């Protein structure tokens, strides 16, 4: 018989879903921070239409350049694959988040695009 670990809940303290409860993995650390360098579709072939552009624009506006705690990214639904990549589903599409480990919370990076 396998032992099942209970999923821990985390109260989101940032963003539009402030105060919401989300389930996160116990390994998701409070003290690990990542800066989202870029949001893109990866190697997916997406239809170029207003919905896709709107969802991508929304994801970029809310993630690119910001530094988040690992637990916050996971609470928002991002699946962290490694210290340099995470996946986020929005608008029925999976978006790739290029990450950079950060020492702590910092101001938003200037936009390059």
Under the banding of pLDDT at 50, 70 and 90, the label for residue 23 is low
- 21 Cβ partners below 8 Å, 6+ apart? 9, 10, 11, 12
Q: Tell whether 93 is covered by a domain.
A: yes
Residue 1, pLDDT > 70, answer no
Q: Tell whether 55 is covered by a domain.
A: yes
Q: Tell whether 95 is covered by a domain.
A: yes
Q: Tell whether 5 is covered by a domain.
A: no
Q: Tell whether 7 is covered by a domain.
A: no
pTM score above 0.95: no
Domain interval for residue 49: 30-102
Q: What is the pLDDT of residues 54-104, one digit of tens each?
A: 999 999 999 999 999 888 888 888 989 999 999 998 888 889 999 999 988
Separation between Cα atoms, residue 53 and residue 1, nearest integer Å: 48
């Amino acid at each position: 018989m396998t032992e099942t670990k209970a999923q821990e809940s985390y109260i989101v303290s940032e963003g539009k879903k402030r105060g919401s409860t989300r389930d996160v993995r116990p390994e998701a650390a409070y003290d690990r921070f990542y800066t989202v360098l870029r949001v893109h579709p990866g190697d997916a072939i997406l239809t170029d239409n207003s919905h896709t552009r709107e969802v991508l624009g929304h994801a970029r506006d809310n993630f690119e350049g910001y530094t988040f705690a690992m637990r916050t990214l996971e609470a928002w639904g991002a699946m962290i694959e490694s210290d340099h990549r995470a996946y986020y589903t929005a608008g029925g599409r999976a978006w790739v988040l290029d990450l950079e480990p950060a020492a702590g919370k910092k101001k938003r990076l200037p936009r390059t695009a």
